A and B are shown apart, each in its own frame.
Chain A
């Protein structure tokens, strides 16, 4: 799994490539921590290159959602691939997190 951060005018994009699972959960949490600590709490997780998620991986994602909300912000998801979207729906994530078809839509939602 690879993670990169990109700053936009009013949101921070976290682009994830590969698999979100127990083997890289720590790496994922470590990536979210600095922007949240610095108060950059309007996050968009770009999932367009994520091909797999496991329950442990989703737990670390959930922790980032809660941390960003505690900081007065949010974490929104963009670009889910169909099989990954299905897993997130079954694991209840799509009911508690806002999901968008692409990064631009997710970023725009912070302006609304």
Chain B
């Protein structure tokens, strides 16, 4: 058993720093708040945050320096079932009888996004991504090419809306010249963005999609198919970047013993606690790794 290293001082300019990547996972992404708490408590700073899909919300909350209490209350206000509750009736009709009602893929959505936008504006105002307290990157997918798109500047609300543009639920989001959809389609846990910006130590918080208990409708069938594909894509990307890049990656994939449904903000405390616990398990190694790095830097 290695001797315990002295603890890092409270986070400041001289603190060892990591890049935090928060992948897609709906309300479970709140676990990243617990991870951030564990890092901060251990004197480890975060120098950059990358967020994908719902992870973009929490990446923004962290990058803009919200306290834990503030972040929690914003989450509860934003993330409820009503977001996808309002059916876009024309959209449903278009899906059923496309020729009759006219199908335009670019505008297609089954849900109305007015409530989502309203709540995002209430939570984030008219902030810009580049004004965050630390570099912030949100990822989305180009609807025309399928490629990953990184947003490091521009309207924060628009960026989050794009990152969250779940196909068939919400319409694609126009940002500049491009039509963007949910980031998870190109990469559910975009560590490549962190690596591209020179990160040496990455803490990647990701969530595997749970599989359906019962596949008894077309919707559930589609969800299951999407879950299998997304999980395999998550693993494939992680495998490649893990093997190909020199940066060290701490992968945190919290497993929730209690079932957490997409909008279970009532379980927020549990989710955040799971995140913190998962991070604590990685801290001994992370601490040694960062302490070692500092020794070399000092030499």
Contacts and interface: CB of A to CB of B under 8 A. Distances in A.
Tell whether any CB of A sits under 8 Å from a CB of B in the complex: yes
Interface of A: 19, 21-23, 52, 54-56, 58-59, 62, 86-87, 89-93
Contacts, number: 48
Contacts of B41: none
Given A22-B248, A54-B250, A91-B242, 16 more contacts: A23-B289, A54-B249, A54-B285, A55-B242, A55-B249, A58-B243, A62-B243, A87-B251, A89-B235, A90-B238, A90-B239, A91-B235, A91-B239, A91-B251, A92-B235, A92-B243
Nearest to B202: A55
Chain A at the B interface: mostly helix, strand, loop or mixed?
A: helix
Nearest to A22: B248
Contacts of A19: 285
Interface in B254-299: 285, 288-289, 292
B248 A55 contact: yes
Interface residues of B, number: 17
A59 B243 contact: yes
Nearest to A1: B2
Contacts of A59: 242-243
B225 interface: no
Interface string B208-233: 00000000000000000000000000
Contacts of A22: 248, 289
A56 B251 contact: no
20 contacts: A23-B285, A23-B288, A23-B289, A23-B292, A52-B285, A54-B248, A55-B242, A56-B248, A58-B243, A59-B242, A86-B253, A90-B235, A90-B251, A91-B235, A91-B238, A91-B239, A91-B251, A92-B238, A92-B239, A92-B240
A23 B291 CA distance: 11
A97 B174 CA distance: 44
Nearest to B246: A56
B236 interface: yes
Contacts of B242: 55, 58-59, 91-92
A90 to B, nearest CB: 5
B64 to A, nearest CB: 29
Contacts of B251: 55, 87, 90-91
B284 to A, nearest CB: 9
